[in-house]
Chains A and B, each alone.
Chain A
Amino acid sequence: MVERTPILNFFTHLILFAGFVFCVAPFVIVAIAASHNLKDVNDVPMSLLPGSDFWINIKTAWTTADLGPKLLNSFIMAAGVAAGKVIISALTAFSIVYFRYPGRTLIFWLIFVTLMLPLEVRIVPTYAVVANVLSPYQAIMDVTGLSWLIEKISGVQVSLSLGLLNSYTGLIMPLIATATGTFLYRQFFLTVPDELAEAARMDGAGALRFFIDILLPLSRNNMAALGTIMFLWAWNQYLWPLLITTDQSHATAVTELKQLIPNVGGAPEWHIAMAGTLIVMLPPLIVVVLMQRWFVRGLIATEK
């Protein structure tokens, strides 16, 4: 900096150090609690020296909450959502930016509105749709008289039904159905020079060719950023998987945390709970640590 401000620098360090403690303390406390035994973890105040039972507790938490398959489910769901968003958003943004057709503005607004209403607020009817994902189409056929017509002609009663509860598709699809990524791509595509598309067209390349060979490679950074953000976001989802995975085989690691809340009465098994918490916290934390240098740089680049 340009001037010498020793007193200010001192207070800066003091406050930053407090912020550092504020951010790290919960992780440290969780890790230490996970290393104690039942008696030590319930000591008042709890000892801040690590105990010796860390691996035993991790193992117990792992088996009690059956975390292996749950982590795999979380991974499948998060990767599915990330991949789905990255692909579908790119396709839509391409359509909006590089084509001129009637209703384009309408499509833009239809997608834009989805940003305003998160899954949480339309959770009850979304659940009903996932219980039978074809119900909207059945309803349309009923109202338009189409199912009546089909029944008259062929004698077959139309009843479409496809339940997605307890399935990966059901976990993933509703989370993809918002526009978060579309706008990121749209902003980026708008900055791509027109000359590129012109040149591509003169060389006789069609829309698809231009999209795959030129536009997508240029948006590599955007794809990685969106993919990371969506992976974290999906991994950390709670309400949706809690609702639609009634069957343990599709439950995710985050929803399993609820099983680890110690019972009231008796000595609470906080050491096991904290070991489980640590395991569930770790994967997204690793992603953040690996991506952060690049992440902040990406944000600055878009600002400038």
Chain B
Amino acid sequence: MEKRVTFGRWTIGILFAVPQLILIFTFFYWPAGQAVYWSLTLQQPWGGGNIWVGLDNFRSILANADYWNSITASLTFAAISTGLAMVIALVLATLTDRQLAGSRLYRVVLIWPYGIAAPALALAFRFILAPEAGFMAAVNKFWPGFWDPGLDGADAMASVIIAFSWKYVGYNFIFFLAALQAIPRSLIEAAAMDGSGVVRRFWDIQFPLITPTIFFLLVINITESFQDSFGIVDIMTSGGPANATNLMVYKIYSDGFRGLDYSGAAAQSIILMLLIILLTIVQFRFIERRVHYR
């Protein structure tokens, strides 16, 4: 889409974009370029110069079992938590969209988790899922050794997944509800008049019409599961036990800032960037083909 009317003199036009350009150059393009450069050199911590090593950093990362473990953990985390958050939110949004008594109250409350900081809910869930206090302790009393996220990797992974999906149920709910409410009532009522049931109407009318939202949320959830997970992991498990929850972003942080391995952290950042860019491209292709814009 183009504007018919524009304001001449291009020098003034560019001036309006200058603040944004300076900001993204300084805090986006320069660091991103720096990350590429560092990933190809061996960077001494605290500025002791650097040596060009080509792809050696990538080779040594990819040869490291810890890194593969971190990729597997991230993918597991992304798949399960995205799946949970999407399905639960879609079910709740579809049900709230049916106009029953009380829907409004549900609507109000189901949005709350959206506003909570990941680390705050992580601390809340750390308490709720603590093995020695509260409710899981009661389960442990009944069934000794059932739950211990401090020692058992699977339990720790389950804890961070629960906390993350809880937050994103709220987030997805808002978008699903908005998409569902945008569907004209008359369409659904006409189908009902033709005798199609609730389930049938969902699959034949509502679901196809909200596919753009579904794909949009899918990509947002997956990308966020690679980034927003940091606070949850840091507060709940610190990547442990035995690296079970050492997700990719957390590993970049701990290798870069605790291990002072800038080159290794930079190379990991590049791999994560490529992964996220790849996901975004896949989404665009997919949406272009599958989804019809109205």
Q: A95-B16, A194-B5, A238-B230 are in contact. Are A125 and B117 (CB under 8 A)?
A: no
Q: How far is the CB of B157 from chain A (nearest CB, A)?
A: 19
Q: What are 17 contact pairs spanning A and B, CB under 8 A? A: A19-B95, A23-B170, A24-B109, A42-B132, A110-B21, A116-B273, A117-B276, A123-B256, A124-B38, A128-B31, A190-B1, A258-B234, A260-B123, A281-B120, A285-B115, A289-B108, A299-B175
A120 part of interface (Cβ distance < 8 Å): yes
Given contacts A2-B189, A129-B31, contact A99 B7 (CB under 8 A): yes
Minimum distance in angstroms from A100 CB to a CB of chain B: 5
- Which residues on A sit within 8 Å (CB–CB) of B121? 26, 281
What separation, in Å, do the CA atoms of A254 and B99 have in the docked complex?
Answer: 38
Q: How far is the CB of A70 from chain B (nearest CB, A)?
A: 13
Residue from B25, B128, B265 within 8 A of A29 (CB atoms) = B128
- B residues with a Cβ closer than 8 A to A are 1, 3-7, 10-17, 19-21, 23-32, 34-35, 38, 88, 91-92, 95-96, 98-100, 102-103, 105-121, 123-128, 130, 132-135, 137-138, 141, 166, 169-170, 174-175, 177-179, 181-182, 189, 192-193, 198, 223, 226-227, 230-231, 234-235, 249, 252-253, 256-257, 262, 265-266, 269, 272-273, 276-277, 280
B112 touches A288 (CB 8 A): yes
Chain B residue contacts of A260, Cβ below 8 A: 123
A16–B24 CB distance below 8 A:
no
Q: Does A232 contact B (CB under 8 A)?
A: yes
Interface centre among B30, B92, B257 (most CB of A within 10 A): B30
CB distance from A168 to the nearest CB of B (A): 15
In the complex, the answer to whether A102 meets B10 with C-beta atoms within 8 Å is yes
Q: How far is the CA of A41 from the CA of B38 in the complex (A)?
A: 49
Q: Is the CB of A16 within 8 A of B31?
A: no
B266 touches A124 (CB 8 A): yes
CB–CB B124/A177 < 8 A? no
- Interface of chain B: mostly helix, strand, loop or mixed: helix
Q: Which residues 111-168 in A have Cβ within 8 Å of B in the complex?
A: 111, 114-118, 120-130, 133, 136
Given contacts A124-B257, A182-B20, contact A273 B119 (CB under 8 A): no
Our pick among A100, A197, A274 for the contact of B124 (Cβ within 8 Å) is A274
4 further A-B contacts with Cβ under 8 Å, apart from A30-B127, A206-B7, A270-B133, are A95-B16, A239-B249, A276-B123, A277-B123
Pairwise interchain contact B137-A238, C-beta atoms closer than 8 A: no
Say whether A26 contacts B117, CB under 8 Å.
no
Nearest chain-A residue to B110 (Cβ)?
Answer: A23
Nearest chain B CB to A289's CB is how many angstroms away?
Answer: 8
A-B contact count (CB 8 A): 318
User: Which A residues fall within an 8 A CB radius of B?
Assistant: 1-3, 5, 8-9, 12-13, 15-16, 19-20, 22-24, 26-27, 29-30, 33, 41-46, 88-89, 91-92, 94-104, 107, 110-111, 114-118, 120-130, 133, 136, 173-174, 176-179, 182, 190, 194, 197-198, 201, 206-207, 210, 232, 235-236, 238-239, 242-243, 254-255, 257-258, 260-261, 268, 270, 273-274, 276-277, 280-281, 284-285, 287-289, 292, 295-296, 299-300, 303-304
B141 close to A303 (CB less than 8 A): no
Closest A residue to B199 using CB positions: A8
- Give the CA-CA distance A9 to B252 in the complex, in Å: 49
Asked if B1 contacts A273 (CB within 8 A), the reply is: no
Given A44-B134, A285-B115, the answer on whether A16 and B182 have CB atoms closer than 8 Å is no
Which chain B residues border A177 with CB–CB below 8 Å?
23-24, 26-28
Chain B contacts for A257, CB-based, 8 A:
119-120, 123, 235
Shortest distance in angstroms between A146's beta carbon and chain B's nearest beta carbon? 17
Q: Check B117 against A238 for contact (C-beta < 8 Å).
A: yes
A92 → chain B, closest Cβ, in Å?
A: 4
Flag if B17 contacts A2 (CB, 8 Å): no
Please indicate the chain B residues that have their CB under 8 angstroms from the CB of A197 in the complex.
Answer: 3, 5, 7
Distance between Cα atoms of A114 and B7 in the complex (Å):
27
Q: Are A129 and B132 in contact (CB under 8 A)?
A: no
Cβ contacts under 8 Å, A300 to chain B: 178, 181-182
